[in-house]
Chain A
Amino acid sequence: MISQEFDYTVATSLSEAVGLLQKHGDKAKLLAGGHSLIPMMKLRLATPGLLIDIGRLPELTYINEEGGTIRIGALTTHQLIETSEVLNRRCRSLAEAAGLIGDIQVRNKGTIAGSIAHADPAADYPATLLAFDASIVALGPKGERTIPASQFFVDMMTTALQANEIVREIRITPRSGKAGSAYLKMAQKASGFAICGASANVELDGSGAIGSVSIGITGVANRAFRATETEKALIGQKPSATLLRSACEKASNGVTALEDIHASADYRLDLARIYARRALEKALERVS
């Protein structure tokens, strides 16, 4: 469990880091919390020639609420997200997802941007960011661009980021009406990653019908996805046990599921249905 030799440099600003990425190309890797990268390096699955440490840029740790939008700095740790007053009030499922990552030592070091840029198909955040229709602000040589979460997660360990782009911020505009959210997961017992994680957001309209609903599911397929058929079956309907059950039966329709020693594809597909419904039930309980 010893990595190969590599060079290491500390970036003093994000734009310097972008410049270094530009200069060194494929052989460089960004180091933030290091909780995905360093284990891969120790297993020699990742062998970067240069680590660019951005983990010391204090200006990238923040959770700000401005107008209706919450901005989360790239280096904000899982622990800060888990315990944030703002997020627990307005984006409960995101705080919940953060609290289910690894253990307290991991949460103290690991960062939200590090996690999403790594794009492990069983990571917790993607389900929640999809359900919130979050956007990801990336900084590159040509400046900033905003990528919707729905376009950000491309495939297993693959995002829409260019090799010379760095995640700078995550933006969420949660519903302000009678809304609730929840994240639930079945963890793989060894790694703690999701065999299935479901994140549900729901908002009721004045009549008590479902005005908006979104469900993100992680751990099941090569990337997190939205349960769009379920969402369609719910929209405009009054929530009832029967409705939730029948709608969530469609949660993994058309999905090609992962299969490994920890769970079969069929099991993952069924867990998606079960966890979608349970997350939805919990989100409805939390509607205020």
Chain B
Amino acid sequence: MKYVGQAIKRKEDPRLISGSSTYVDDIALPGMLHMAVARSIYAHARIKRIDISRATRLPGVHSIVTGEEIASKCGPIPVAGEIPKMKKPVMHLLALGKVIYVGQPIAAVVASDKYIARDAADLIEIEYEPLPAVTNPEKALQPGSPVIHEQYSDNQAYTFGFETGNTEEAFKTADVVVKERFINQRLAPISMETRGAVATMQMPENELVIWSSTQIPHLLKTQLAVMVGVPENRARVITPEVGGGFGSKLNVYAEEGLVAYLAMKTGHPVKWIEGRRENIASTIHGRDQINDVELALKKDGTILGMRAKVVADIGAYYQLLTAIIPQLTGLLAPGAYRVPAFKFDLVSAFTNKMATDAYRGAGRPEATYLIERIMDVAAQKLKLDPAEIRRKNFPKPSEFPFQTSGGVVYDSANYEAALDKALNIADYAGLRRKQAEMRKQGKYMGIGLSSYVEICAMGPSVAMPAGGWESATVRIDPTAKVTVLTGASPHGQGQETSFAQIIADQFGITMEDVFVQHGDTARIPYGIGTFGSRATAVGGTAMYNAGQKLREKMQKLAGHILQVNPEKIVFEDGKIIAKDGSGKSMGFGEVVTQAYIARQLPPGMEPGLEATNFFEPSNFTFPFGTHVCVVQIDEETGEPKITKYVAVDDCGNVINPLLVEGQVHGGIVQGIAQALYEEVVYDENGQLLTGSLMDYALPRAHDLPMFELDRTVTPSPVNPLGVKGVGEAGTIGSTPAVVNAIVDALSPLGITHVDMPVRAEKVWKILKGRKAS
């Protein structure tokens, strides 16, 4: 192994750092028009009248479309994630008759430049009749609430639930039952690059070509072809550089359909680039659940059963996967523990807010938060050390594959090893001693653990709304340069590097000879895309399998030419060598040339060197680990400060430790930010109060401590690479560790829970309350 496992710097970085790469906004086409969107300023209102006359008269305005035209010409926003018996309101690309959230597109303008387009959008006069809005999901579910989709009698989008084992019995026989309500607040994904799309019709076959900042070029191509009515073989999606997505670009948005439709209608290329305020208001949000959790235990801390009642606030309508995200919470809620009986009840409510969907972790951070928090509540009640109650309930490594009461089968794990390693690195015993001393001085120091597991490598097709496989083609050109075409669609993860490492090792060549291409549906065989920590585990495996096919072919060909047993042939340092004592070898390039010259092929062998694999995984993978967070609380202002952060993650085999650490770092930062800073806030009228980055608090480097990272390695049996995926681990593992630390710090005051984001003022109120009493 020459490259795999090495900390190799990303091939992508020079072009990104030097600003020489191409994003959607860098695309400029002759005659290109610019689109701006007029959006609702009300959360819930009837549209009485739309007057576009002033906007139309603005010089430079080319065309303006509104709801009726679009509803008659374009299909609705696609919904792939479905729950049996769910209400299925149709959502058109532009509002038709009424608006149901602030930021909903009402009209689209195309003009000769983006400034005129924006001015024209502001000149569109929209007369509203405001309706009462509902922004609290529990209120939305009550009788008498304003109904958002009036064809239905209420706002209950769907329910979902299951029970494994006998929870009633478990709770009846329990020594102790703990319960707590956790709010998992609404977050905005906020990628560095906002959304954006350019569409054009290209001759000679009238092909619709769309550049979009998306995580799913192929699925987008299919959906847009259907939406605007072009044959799919005349539709092409290209993802140039994509500046992050975090799940928010795992979607098909109204604006993508609008640019496509308007390019077809006007005959001009049309560009739309999302502004940051649009990004916060009109790109999907994440999380937003209320979790009522009860845990039944024996006195010694053994878990007997759990009940979780979840109210999910899914916003005003469904985006692509909205409905299935809270379902994932149920699958993972038992976490890294033996929970013999589990009952999960989910009710999802429509509210007058932007739709929720997949945001880094997508349903699993909520699950991890609820189980990791309730474990601490139980430990507190039973006066057990949080590490020990966890250890007591871990399944042993020999019990894997482990069937959980969440309904999934965990592939492989050693939870205790990761816990022990994290505790060692953090000097847990020393921290507890220090905490005892600090408490004597009236200081608030807390230590929080999170022993998480997560569902990655999404996933087997039976569990996925649109196929869970991935494709790859490996092609070796006559000059021995290797091209990889992957259906994965990296947008910051670095697979151009890690995939080149894998292929270079497979063929004994240098990474420089490997070119990994992605994100152009005209070049790449149909694929699924990058999300759910799947690109390496599923897409990387497809590539590896395709590579193996070519290796076998080259072995046969070289064996035939050299007259040696193909099974004895190895690939090393650019050579193909017979390890049979004969000393025979050929250059890698010579064998490649022979495959194309095709005069010495063995009987029955096709010329050329290209192979494709569509890999269907047999299961998800389940990475895990333990995070330890230490906080110090300012006893006057209440401000929590993280003073130490240790993360031991196990994502199976590691292709490139630098990339893994980068993912873990970014993930921890976003997880900490949920715990401490971030929250999308709507007022009771549905106005967005955190509509800019002046009010929506993203984490900054100087707010955060150094992270001490380490790992254990438990290969996954689900794929030949033994990898599990690491894109979301940090986000999923970190949030409860931080909140557990804060609650631990405040536990001498009898505090059992503090809701996120734990801003200084919340803690200040607790400290004040104590002084008052």
Contacts and interface: CB of A to CB of B under 8 A. Distances in A.
A4 to B, nearest CB: 7
A270 B636 CA distance: 9
A2 B119 CA distance: 9
A121 to B, nearest CB: 14
Given A2-B275, A270-B764, A274-B636, A189 B697 contact: yes
Interface string A241-276: 000000000000000000001111001001100100
A54 B263 CA distance: 43
Interface stretch (B351-359, B378-386, B462-470, B688-696): B688-696
Nearest to B275: A1
Contact of A5 (B115, B676, B692, B693): B115
B114 interface: yes
Contacts of A5: 115, 119
Interface string B412-444: 000000000000000000000000000000000
10 residue pairs, one from A and one from B, having the closest CB atoms: A189-B697, A190-B697, A1-B275, A191-B694, A2-B118, A267-B761, A274-B636, A189-B677, A190-B695, A261-B689
A43 interface: yes
Contact of A190 (B118, B122, B696, B761): B696
B276 interface: yes
A37 to B, nearest CB: 14
B698 interface: yes
A39 B276 CA distance: 12
25 contacts: A1-B275, A1-B277, A2-B114, A2-B275, A4-B119, A5-B115, A43-B692, A44-B122, A186-B639, A186-B760, A189-B676, A189-B697, A190-B695, A190-B697, A190-B698, A191-B693, A191-B694, A261-B689, A261-B695, A262-B695, A263-B761, A264-B761, A267-B761, A270-B764, A270-B768
Contacts of A2: 114-115, 118, 275
Contacts of A190: 677, 690, 693-698
A147 to B, nearest CB: 29
B388 interface: no
Contacts of B115: 2, 5
Nearest to A42: B275
A274 B275 contact: no
A264 B759 CA distance: 12
Interface string B697-714: 110000100000000000
Nearest to B121: A2
Contacts of A44: 122
B145 interface: no
Contacts of A188: 697
A274 B767 CA distance: 14
A154 B224 CA distance: 56
Nearest to A190: B697
Contacts of A39: 694
Nearest to A263: B761
Contacts of A274: 636-637
A186 B637 contact: yes
How would you classify the secondary structure of chain A's contact residues: helix, strand, loop or mixed? Answer: loop
A190 B115 CA distance: 28
Nearest to A270: B764
B7 interface: no
Given A190-B677, A261-B681, A261-B690, 12 more contacts: A1-B275, A2-B114, A5-B115, A5-B119, A43-B692, A186-B637, A188-B697, A189-B676, A190-B690, A190-B693, A191-B695, A263-B761
Contacts of B122: 44
Interface in B88-126: 114-115, 118-119, 122
Contacts of B703: 189
B246 to A, nearest CB: 18
A44 B691 CA distance: 14
A102 to B, nearest CB: 11
Contacts of A270: 764, 768
B275 A271 contact: no
Nearest to A103: B700
Interface string A21-40: 00000000000000000010
A263 B275 CA distance: 27
Nearest to B677: A189
Interface in A1-17: 1-2, 4-5
Given A1-B277, A189-B677, A274-B636, A267 B764 contact: yes
B637 to A, nearest CB: 6
Contacts of B693: 190-191
B684 to A, nearest CB: 13
Nearest to B122: A44
A265 B58 CA distance: 46
Nearest to A193: B694
A5 B120 CA distance: 12
A47 to B, nearest CB: 11
B761 to A, nearest CB: 5
Interface in A175-197: 186, 188-191
A199 to B, nearest CB: 17
A152 B297 CA distance: 65
Nearest to A196: B637
A271 B764 CA distance: 10
Contacts of B277: 1, 43
Contact of B276 (A1, A261, A271): A1
Contacts of A186: 637, 639, 760
A144 to B, nearest CB: 35
Contacts of A191: 693-695
Nearest to B699: A189
A283 B694 CA distance: 31
B157 to A, nearest CB: 27
A271 B696 CA distance: 22
Interface string B737-773: 0000000000000000000000111001000100000
A44 B637 CA distance: 36
Interface in B64-82: none
A186 B118 CA distance: 37
A281 B48 CA distance: 62
A186 B640 CA distance: 12
A222 B99 CA distance: 36
A141 B164 CA distance: 82
B637 A271 contact: yes
Interface in A153-210: 186, 188-191
A88 to B, nearest CB: 20
A279 to B, nearest CB: 13
Interface in B561-615: none
A46 B576 CA distance: 69
A4 B114 CA distance: 11
A36 to B, nearest CB: 11
A64 to B, nearest CB: 32
B154 to A, nearest CB: 30
Nearest to B696: A190
A43 B691 CA distance: 11
A266 to B, nearest CB: 9
Nearest to A268: B761
A44 B761 CA distance: 32
Q: Which one of A189, A261, A267 has the greatest number of beta carbons of chain B within 10 Å? A: A189
Interface string B465-486: 0000000000000000000000
A82 to B, nearest CB: 15
Nearest to A44: B122
B458 to A, nearest CB: 32
A247 to B, nearest CB: 16
A264 B118 CA distance: 36
Interface in B515-563: none
Nearest to B757: A189
Nearest to A192: B700
Nearest to A188: B697
Interface string B622-659: 00000000000000110100000000000000000000
Q: Which one of A44, A263, A267 has the greatest number of beta carbons of chain B within 10 Å? A: A267
A191 B764 CA distance: 21
Contacts of A263: 761
Nearest to B277: A1
